[in-house]
Amino acid sequence: MTPATSTHCPYCALQCAMTLTPDVGGVTVAGRAFPTNRGGLCKKGWTSAELLSSPERILEPMLRQPDGTFAPASWEEALDLVAGRLAAGRAEHGADSVGVFGGGGLTNEKAYQLGKFARLALGSSRIDYNGRFCMSSAAAAGNRAFGLDRGLPFRVEDLGAARTILILGSNVAQTMPPFIAHLDGARKAGGLIVVDPRRTATARLTDDGAGMHIQPTPGSDLVLLLGLINIVISERLVDTDYVARRTVGFDALRRSVGRWWTERVQEHTGVPVWQLRELARRLAEGPGTYILTGRGVEQHADGTDTATAAINLSLILGLVGTEHSGYGTLTGQGNGQGGREHGQKCDQLPGYRKITDPAARAHVAGVWGVHPDSLPGQGLPAVELLAAMGEPGGIRCLLVHGSNVVVSAPNADRVRAGIAALDFLVVCDFFFSETAALADVVLPVTQWAEEEGTMTSLEGRVIRRRRAVDAPAGVRSELWIFRELARRLDAPGVYSANPAEVFDELCRASAGGTADYSGLSYGLLDTDEPAYWPYPAGSTGTPRLFLDRFAHADGLARIVAVQARSTDAPAQVGGTLTLITGRLLEHYQSGTQTRRVAELLTARPEARAQLHPATADRLGIADGGWLELSSERGTVRCRAEASADIRADTVFLPFHFAGDECANLLTDDVTDPISGMPEFKKTTVRVRALQEAGARA
Ligand SMILES: Nc1nc2c(c(=O)[nH]1)N[C@H]1C(S)=C(S)[C@@H](COP(=O)(O)OP(=O)(O)OC[C@H]3O[C@@H](n4cnc5c(=O)[nH]c(N)nc54)[C@H](O)[C@@H]3O)O[C@H]1N2
Ligand SMILES: Nc1nc2c(c(=O)[nH]1)N[C@H]1C(S)=C(S)[C@@H](COP(=O)(O)OP(=O)(O)OC[C@H]3O[C@@H](n4cnc5c(=O)[nH]c(N)nc54)[C@H](O)[C@@H]3O)O[C@H]1N2
Ligand code: SF4
Ligand SMILES: [Mo]
C-alpha cells in the first residue's frame, strides 16, 4: 500500500492539515488533526487533489507561434528562448525593463528565490506580487503601530477562550470555514459581532444569543472606528494604565476623534447610535476581547488608515500583547504571511528587511555572495508595476509566478492592454489561466502535492508541506526553473533546486531581521512541533508576540491618529449603487483552479450579482434575470441574485470569474497611498436590467 503523506491544503492561509493517500483512482484527501482546522476541511480542500490529474493540466512548455496558437517545446528550447529574450531586453532597454510578478501562494522557498532571482539574475528592482492586493494595508498598519507585521500575533486557538470577538469585513464562514469553530466560545457568550454590509454566513453566526450584526455603508468603517474610539474615550472606557505603560500617541488620538460624535457617525455609516454605544461598551467589557480585520475593511483607498483605527481602538482598550485579548488581521492566501517576508515585495529583502536599509543590504548581499552595491533599489508596488507595462521607460518583459492578473488585478481592461503592449510575457502555471493564455511562453510547474516546501500560516506558524506524489514527467519545479535560467543568464550567486537547501539559505538571510527564521530547519519542522516566528537560532519561537514589548526600538506601540479623508457617501440615485466584490465558498481567487473542479463549478457555475429585492424591483431586474453593471472603467453582464441579505444601496459581485463576468472590469486602480492596496471594495456602478437575448449578443 502507498503510504499516506501528512501535508496541508493548497489554498488559503488557514493551511488546514490533510493526509494524501495515492491509490489507483487518484489521490484520497482526508482531514488531519491540527490546531487550526481540528480535522475539518472545506469543499475546496476536499476536492483539491482532483487538479493533480486534471486533463487540462499543461504538461510541456508551450511557445506561442506566429499564428497565435501555442505549440509544445522541449525545456531546453523554452529556457534558451526565455533567457535569450530576457538578456536581449535587458541589454537594449535596461534591467528595469524586466518585471517580475509573484504570488502569496508560493512556498517560502519559491518566494525567496524569486526575489533573489529578480535582483541578482535579472538585476531588476521591478518585482512585486499579488499580496499587494491582499495584505498590504493591514501589513502597513501593523508595521507602523507595532514595528512588526504578523497577521495574528497570537495563536488561532487562543480565540477559543474569548468572550467578545469583533470581526470587521471578513466572511470567515465562507472564506475559512473550519475557522468558525474557534468562534464557539464567543458565540456561546453572545459576544460575536460582525461588521459587514451584507448579512453573510458569518453574520448569521451572531444569531445565537446576543451577538450583533452591524451593516454599515461600504467604505464607512474608518468613520465607524473613529466614532467608537470617541465613545470609548468620552465614556472613560480607556485602559489608561496600559496606554501609559505600552503606547505613545494617545493625546493626539484624543484630539483627533472629537468631531466624530455619535449622531454624525450614524449619518455617515448608517449604524444607529444605540448600536454604536452598545458595541463600544461590549468591547470594553474585557478581558477576552479580540478585534479582527479582513479584506472588507482593508481593500480601500484608506485601508491602511482603517486598519490603523482598528489597532488604535485595540490599543486604547489594552487588548494587544496580552495573554487573553488581541488584535489581528486574517491573512488570506496559503502563504500570504510567508509571501510577505522573504523579498518578493518591491521594497523588501528577506527577513522582512527594508531594501533601502544599508545594514540589511550588506547582510543579504553577504549571504548571496555579492557586493551590496550590486543590489537594485526599491521597485514599484503591484498596481504601478502593471501600469508600467508598455509605458516609456516601463516594463517590456514580464515574468508571472502565481497570479492571474488579468482577472484579479483592478481595472482589468487596462491590465490586458498593458500585456498586449509587452515585448515578452512568460507565465509559470499548471493551467492556461486567462493570463497564461496571453503569454509568449508558458512554463508548466509542479503542484503543491508534488513538491517539498514550507508555508507560513495566518498565525505565523511555519509548516512543512510535503510531497505526496510524483509530478508528471514534463513539468518542473520553479526552483529548478530559476536555477536553469540563472545559469543561462550567467547570474552571480547560487540557485539550488533543492527546497531544503533553499530554506537553509533563507534562514541565514533572515537572521537578525524582523521575520527571523534562523533557528528553523527542515529537520525541526519535520517533527511537526509548532514553530512560530520570530524563531532566532537558539530560541523556541514566539506563539504570542508583544507580551513584554512591541518591536519598535523603545518597545512601545504607536497610536497613530488618522482622519477620514472622504466622508461623503456616494449618492444612491437612479440606478447608481455601490459595488463591493469578494468571495464565494466554492471558488478560490481568480478561479483558475476551482473552476476546473467539476463539483465546485457545478455548485457555482457563474457570477451572480447580489442585490436587494427592493432594489431589483425598482430597477426592473428579476431574480435570476440578466443585468448590466457599468463603471467608469468597464461593463459586466451577468445574472442577478435577489437577496434581502444585502443593503439596498449596495451590490455584491464575486471576482472568481472571467470574460463578461469579470468583476475587475469595473474596479478602479486607485490605491491606498501608503500600502498600494487597490480599492476592490467600493466602486460606484450603474445597474440596469437587460433583456435575456441582449445579454450575450
Ligand atoms: N472560498 C474562498 N476562500 C478564500 C479565498 C477565496 O478566493 N475563496 N481567498 C483567500 C484570500 S487570498 C483572502 S484575502 C481571504 C479573504 O477573506 P475575506 O476577507 O473573508 O473575504 P472577502 O469576501 O473578500 O471580503 C469579506 C467581506 O467583506 C465585506 N465587505 C465588502 N466591503 C466592505 C466594507 O466596506 N466594509 C465592511 N465592513 N465589509 C465589507 C463583504 O461583504 C465580504 O462579506 O479569503 C481566503 N479564503
Ligand atoms: N475585485 C476583486 N479583486 C480581487 C480581490 C477582491 O476581493 N475583489 N481580492 C484580491 C486578493 S485578496 C488576492 S489574494 C488576489 C488573488 O488573485 P490572483 O493573484 O490571481 O491569485 P490566484 O487566482 O490564486 O492565481 C494564482 C495563479 O497561479 C497559479 N498557481 C498556484 N500556485 C502556484 C505556484 O506555486 N506557482 C505558480 N507558478 N503558479 C501557481 C494558479 O493556477 C493561478 O493561475 O486577488 C485580488 N483581486
Ligand atoms: S479553509 Fe482554506 S486551508 Fe482549509 S480546506 Fe478550505 S481552502 Fe483549504
Ligand atoms: Mo487575498
Cα of 305 to ligand 2 centre, how many Å? 25
pLDDT computed for residue 262 by the predictor: 97
Residue 180: nearest ligand to its CA? 3
The CB of 298 under 6 Å from ligand 2? The reply is no
**CATH number given to 62-134+335-525:** 3.40.50.740
The CB of 447 under 6 Å from ligand 2? The reply is no
The CB of 177 under 6 Å from ligand 3? The reply is yes
* Mean pLDDT rounded to a whole number for the chain: 96
Q: Could you tell me which CATH class the domain 136-329 is placed in?
A: alpha beta
Q: How many C-beta atoms surround the C-beta of residue 613 within 10 A?
A: 15
Quote the CA–CA distance of 277 and 280 in Å, as a whole number: 5
pLDDT computed for residue 193 by the predictor: 98
The CB of 44 under 6 Å from ligand 3? The reply is yes
CA dihedral sign of residues 73, 48, 593, 13: negative
Instruction: Give the pLDDT mean for 145-156.
Output: 98
Task: Give pLDDT tens digits for 154-187.
Answer: 999 999 999 999 999 999 999 999 999 999 999 9
The C-alpha cell of 71 is what?
505549440
Does the pLDDT at position 697 exceed 60?
Answer: no
Residues across the chain: 697
Pocket test for ligand 3, best of 15, 34, 41 (most atoms within 8 A of CB): 41
Residue nearest to atom 4 of ligand 3 (CA): 16
Quote the CA–CA distance of 369 and 385 in Å, as a whole number: 28
Max intra-chain CA distance, the chain: 72
Listed in sequence order, the residues at least 6 apart from 88 whose beta carbon sits closer than 8 Å to its beta carbon are none
The C-alpha cell of 654 is what?
464575486
Please check whether residue 511 is in contact with residue 518, taking contact to mean a CB–CB distance below 8 angstroms: yes
Atom number of ligand 3 nearest to Cα 179 = 1
pLDDT computed for residue 569 by the predictor: 53
Atom number of ligand 3 nearest to Cα 588 = 7
Residues of the chain with CATH 3.40.228.10: 136-329
The CB of 29 under 6 Å from ligand 3? The reply is no
Ligand 1 binding site (Cβ under 6 Å of any ligand atom) = 12, 134, 168-172, 174-176, 195-198, 200, 218-219, 221, 294-297, 332-333, 580, 582-583, 585, 587-589, 652, 681
Does the pLDDT at position 589 exceed 90?
Answer: yes
Please check whether residue 542 is in contact with residue 548, taking contact to mean a CB–CB distance below 8 angstroms: no
664, 389, 480, 591: CA torsion to nearest 10? 10
CATH architecture of 5-53: Single Sheet (2.20)
Task: Give pLDDT tens digits for 72-103.
Answer: 999 999 999 999 999 999 999 999 999 999 99
Task: Give pLDDT tens digits for 612-657.
Answer: 999 999 999 999 999 999 999 999 999 999 999 999 999 999 999 9
Quote the CA–CA distance of 269 and 255 in Å, as a whole number: 21
Task: Tell me which H or E stretch contains 279.
Answer: helix 273-283
- For the chain, how many helices (H) and strands (E)? 24, 27
Pocket test for ligand 2, best of 383, 590, 671, 683 (most atoms within 8 A of CB): 590
Cα of 332 to ligand 3 centre, how many Å? 10
pLDDT computed for residue 691 by the predictor: 85
Q: For the chain, first and last CA: distance in Å? A: 54
Angle separating helix axes 499-510 and 358-368, nearest 10 degrees? 150
Instruction: Give the pLDDT mean for 400-422.
Output: 98
CATH topology of domain 576-694: Barwin-like endoglucanases (2.40.40)
In whole angstroms, how far apart are CA 368 and each of 86, 298, 497? 22, 35, 15
Quote the CA–CA distance of 311 and 105 in Å, as a whole number: 27
Please check whether residue 183 is in contact with residue 156, taking contact to mean a CB–CB distance below 8 angstroms: no
Pocket test for ligand 1, best of 43, 135, 175 (most atoms within 8 A of CB): 175
Beta partners for residue 328, in sequence order: 292
pLDDT computed for residue 696 by the predictor: 43
HSE (side-chain half, CA atoms, 13 Å) at 454: 33
The CB of 133 under 6 Å from ligand 2? The reply is yes
Q: Which of 113, 150, 147 is nearest to 13 (CA)?
A: 150
Please check whether residue 170 is in contact with residue 293, taking contact to mean a CB–CB distance below 8 angstroms: yes
Residues near ion ligand 4 (CB < 5 Å) are 134, 332
Atom number of ligand 2 nearest to Cα 428 = 38
Residues of the chain with CATH 2.40.40.20: 576-694
The C-alpha cell of 394 is what?
516601463
HSE (side-chain half, CA atoms, 13 Å) at 251: 0
Pocket test for ligand 1, best of 48, 132, 295, 298 (most atoms within 8 A of CB): 295
Cα of 449 to ligand 3 centre, how many Å? 15
Cα of 415 to ligand 2 centre, how many Å? 15
The CB of 593 under 6 Å from ligand 3? The reply is no
Task: Give pLDDT tens digits for 270-292.
Answer: 999 999 999 999 999 988 999 99
The CB of 666 under 6 Å from ligand 2? The reply is no
Quote the CA–CA distance of 214 and 275 in Å, as a whole number: 8
Residues of the chain with CATH 3.40.50.740: 62-134+335-525
Q: How confident is the model at residue 693 (pLDDT cuts 50, 70, 90)?
A: very low
